[in-house]
Structure 1
Amino acid sequence: MSPTADVSVRVAWAEDAAAVAALQLRAWPRMYADVLPPEAFPTGPEALEEATRTWEQSLARPTDARQRVLVALERNRVVGFALTGPATDPDCDPVADGELAEVVLDPDERRQGHGSRLLQAAVDTLRADRFTRAVTWLVASDDDLRGFLDGAGWAPDGAHRELDLDGAGAVRVKQVRLHTDLRQ
């Protein structure tokens, strides 16, 4: 008999704030290495403390009851997280359209099924919150994430934007929006 993996996805608790913050600070430099220079990412104990405080507040008091943070676990260790809630784009209906605002996986834990479990839990959560469509924004050049979402039934909806990350126009990021029908 082969051993089974102890993996799951659940809604994040306030006690998960430090683990989520640490994962975010560890994953973002690799996720956005093609977009931002290394010095743009916060590092060190102060950055971790600040990110943990922010996550604690967010987890304890979401601004909308439909805003959720889901965590992917390997045993009791957070290996990924996803953010869901009402879509905020002006052309979206915040009652019908939900948003997958972010999906972050531990860079060392990829290709182990955590992303698929996390994405399915996010879709299930959006459905449970009675959204009928979901949208998400991704960096236009992120072919890996786009391929992953495409394989799960997400497709471009024609919307695109360019973000000015430094306010001076020196760091611009092109994004595309994908969507999926949650009624299926």
Structure 2
Amino acid sequence: MNFKNIWDKTSDYLDQADVEFTEWADDTFRKLRENRAKGKQETIMKINNKSFGVASITPIRKDINGLFYISPLYNETAERFTFENLQFSGSKTTQHTKTKGKLKGRSGSALVGGAILGPVGAIAGGSRKRKLNSVSVTETKDAPGKGTIFLRSVTSNTIKTVKFTATQAEFLNIKSFFDAN
């Protein structure tokens, strides 16, 4: 076999591989675009769970049929669930008030009264009403509570639980995600 024959066969093989790769890439990108378009029709709720100081996020998606599945991306083959129940222990709200201010009025009056009338004037001046200039700031903190989402498998009829931690506002968002079914 001479060099020309080897070159021709190699060139033919590379041309065929190039055509196959181009077809594969076109098909792959077409499928990705289709999946992205289908995924945009779905809604997603990212459920937070913080246990033992470690945070994790469970993405629950609602497909166009109103069924739920657990996946960060669109997935046609993921196990589908129906919403069964939702439990929440409630979050703990604490308030802390800080007051800053100054008390004015007594010491100056007591000094003036004492200078004019002696000890009796000091007592009378000191018993005068005091003026308080203050500013209060109340800080409210909402500590997350724990909850559980119960989903029923469409295929096996078993219950899957998803644990979560949420503030009261976050819980209301989770609840509306499942109630809008």
TM-score, with normalisation over the residues of structure 1?
0.21
More strand by share: 2
Q: Which has the larger radius of gyration?
A: 2
TM-score relative to the length of structure 2: 0.22
